């Protein structure tokens, strides 16, 4: 088997495929790319058995056919650094020869028949969404997911296809982020996708130049297709909690802050907070907002912020990192905070925006 391919095209496709390569694995073949070359085209595949990526490599010339598995990190490193646009790959007797300009490599390969099947059953129905919109939706919720893999039902992002569109929700039990987007069609399904799969999907979405992607569900797996690259994700076998229970329906205090000022003040109070109990106290009244933090060994910080205020005076403490992540993800320069009480969930959202919001639980004041 021999093929000629453009360096940029090959690099693009293996970069998108690379994140699905298994990191630590007892099955060496999973640390490689499976290349499949036939009259149907050239495909590169990787999977960690939870997520799979399959990409078509647009080759300039192909002779013969064959399958081989090559160590992914070595191959990626080589392709990224090749000196010339024209790359020739030749596979013969278990050796892959790569040549470009005056550089050449002979790489050992692994047995393609050992590479596991991780495919998606083709479906007719799909939902189309702008790539940039989906990328932004994922960015705005993914950080709120639990990072502990043992918390199976929170270690991921919940995809909820409603009658009117798509809603993504993530929560680690202490805070929750939710974003909605109207769409013309629906898959009529809801499922949880693991954080690991979500990160592999993010890698493909952020590297593709396709303006829109297609979402499909085959009964077991969820797939996102960006042109000739397809990401297939196993749906998590766990129920995402009933998040609607924690969404506050009313409020007793409303505060509007400047995002820039609030983020700067938070950053300073965090210097002291991280040396102590990792908490920042927020006091809101007609006079504005006061943030304070305290460490028994290092001292205290105090910040005053101007704020629009409405309702009852309030005092509540929060993990400052959880506030910071919420504020950063709000699109408007003014941020709205809705309090019920010192111990009830706080709702944070953009100024007069409804499609994205964030809920955070206070820390009990000592």
Under the binding rule (CB under 8 A), the answer on residue 259 touching a copy of itself is no
Residue 136, burial from CB neighbour count under 10 angstroms (0-12, 13-18, 19+): middle
CB of 340 to a copy of itself, least distance (A): 28
CB of 261 to a copy of itself, least distance (A): 8
State which of residues 163, 242, 297, 354 lies at the interface with a copy of itself (CB under 8 A).
297
Under the binding rule (CB under 8 A), the answer on residue 147 touching a copy of itself is no
CB of 147 to a copy of itself, least distance (A): 25
Under the binding rule (CB under 8 A), the answer on residue 303 touching a copy of itself is yes
- Using DSSP, state whether 281 is helix, strand or coil: strand
How far apart, in whole angstroms, are the C-alpha atoms of residue 79 and residue 17? 14
Considering only 39-47, 73-81, 177-185, 223-231, which stretch makes contact with a copy of itself by CB under 8 A? 73-81
Binding mask 210-249 vs a copy of itself (x if CB under 8 A, - otherwise)?
A: ----------------------------------------
End-to-end CA, the chain: 70
**94 contacts: CB under 8 Å, gap ≥ 6:** 68, 108, 109
CB of 177 to a copy of itself, least distance (A): 26
Going by C-alpha positions, the residue among 259, 265, 248 that lies closest to residue 339 is 248
State which of residues 108, 123, 162, 164 lies at the interface with a copy of itself (CB under 8 A).
108
Under the binding rule (CB under 8 A), the answer on residue 365 touching a copy of itself is no
Under the binding rule (CB under 8 A), the answer on residue 267 touching a copy of itself is yes
Under the binding rule (CB under 8 A), the answer on residue 15 touching a copy of itself is no
| Region 81-100 residues binding a copy of itself, contact defined as CB under 8 A | 81-83, 95-96
Going by C-alpha positions, the residue among 102, 41, 28, 108 that lies closest to residue 68 is 108
How far apart, in whole angstroms, are the C-alpha atoms of residue 146 and residue 126? 29
CB of 35 to a copy of itself, least distance (A): 16
How far apart, in whole angstroms, are the C-alpha atoms of residue 217 and residue 233? 10
How far apart, in whole angstroms, are the C-alpha atoms of residue 128 and residue 213? 6
CB of 253 to a copy of itself, least distance (A): 21
How far apart, in whole angstroms, are the C-alpha atoms of residue 145 and residue 156? 6
How far apart, in whole angstroms, are the C-alpha atoms of residue 36 and residue 329? 41
Under the binding rule (CB under 8 A), the answer on residue 300 touching a copy of itself is yes
State which of residues 15, 88, 107, 133 lies at the interface with a copy of itself (CB under 8 A).
107
CB of 264 to a copy of itself, least distance (A): 6
Whether 118 contacts 34, CB under 8 Å: no
Considering only 44-52, 113-121, 176-184, 265-273, which stretch makes contact with a copy of itself by CB under 8 A? 265-273
Closer to a copy of itself at the Cβ: 109 or 197?
109
Sheet of 175-182, strand order: 190-194, 156-161, 165-171, 175-182, 356-360, 346-350, 334-339, 253-258, 308-311
State which of residues 11, 58, 88, 105 lies at the interface with a copy of itself (CB under 8 A).
105
Q: What angle do CA 344, 136, 125 make, to 5 degrees?
A: 105
Give the footprint of a copy of itself on this chain (CB under 8 A): 71, 74, 77-78, 81-83, 95-96, 102-108, 264-265, 267-268, 271-272, 275, 297-305
């Amino acid at each position: 088997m021999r093929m000629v391919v453009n360096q940029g095209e090959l690099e693009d496709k293996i970069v998108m495929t690379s994140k699905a390569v298994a990191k630590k694995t007892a099955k060496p073949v999973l640390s490689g790319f499976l290349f499949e070359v036939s009259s149907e085209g050239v495909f590169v595949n990787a999977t960690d058995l939870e997520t799979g990526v399959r990409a078509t490599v647009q080759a300039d010339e192909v002779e013969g056919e064959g399958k081989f598995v090559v160590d992914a990190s070595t191959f990626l490193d080589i392709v990224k650094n090749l000196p010339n646009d024209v790359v020739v790959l030749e596979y013969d007797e278990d050796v892959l020869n790569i040549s470009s300009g005056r550089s050449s490599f002979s790489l050992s390969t692994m047995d393609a028949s050992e590479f596991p099947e991780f495919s998606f059953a083709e479906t007719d129905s799909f939902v189309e969404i702008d790539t940039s919109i989906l990328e932004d939706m994922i960015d705005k919720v993914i950080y709120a997911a639990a990072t502990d893999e043992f918390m199976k039902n929170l270690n991921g992002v919940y995809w909820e296809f409603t009658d009117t569109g798509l809603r993504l929700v993530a929560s680690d039990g202490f805070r929750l982020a939710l974003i909605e987007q109207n769409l013309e069609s629906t898959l009529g399904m809801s499922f949880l996708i693991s954080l690991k799969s979500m990160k592999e999907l993010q890698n493909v979405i952020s590297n593709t130049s396709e303006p829109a992607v297609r979402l499909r569900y085959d009964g077991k797996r969820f797939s996102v297709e960006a042109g000739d690259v397809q990401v297939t994700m196993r749906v998590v076998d766990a129920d995402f909690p009933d998040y609607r229970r924690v969404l506050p329906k009313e409020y007793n205090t409303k505060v509007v802050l400047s995002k820039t000022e609030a983020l700067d003040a938070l950053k300073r109070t965090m210097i002291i907070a991280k040396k102590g109990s990792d908490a920042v106290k927020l006091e809101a009244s007609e006079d504005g907002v006061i943030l304070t933090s305290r460490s028994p060994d290092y001292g205290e910080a105090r910040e005053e912020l101007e704020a629009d205020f409405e309702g009852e005076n309030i005092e509540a403490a929060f993990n400052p990192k959880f506030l910071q992540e919420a504020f950063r993800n709000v699109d408007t320069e003014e941020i709205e905070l809705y309090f019920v009480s010192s111990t009830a969930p706080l709702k944070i959202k953009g100024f007069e925006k409804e499609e994205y919001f964030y809920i955070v639980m206070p820390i009990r004041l000592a």
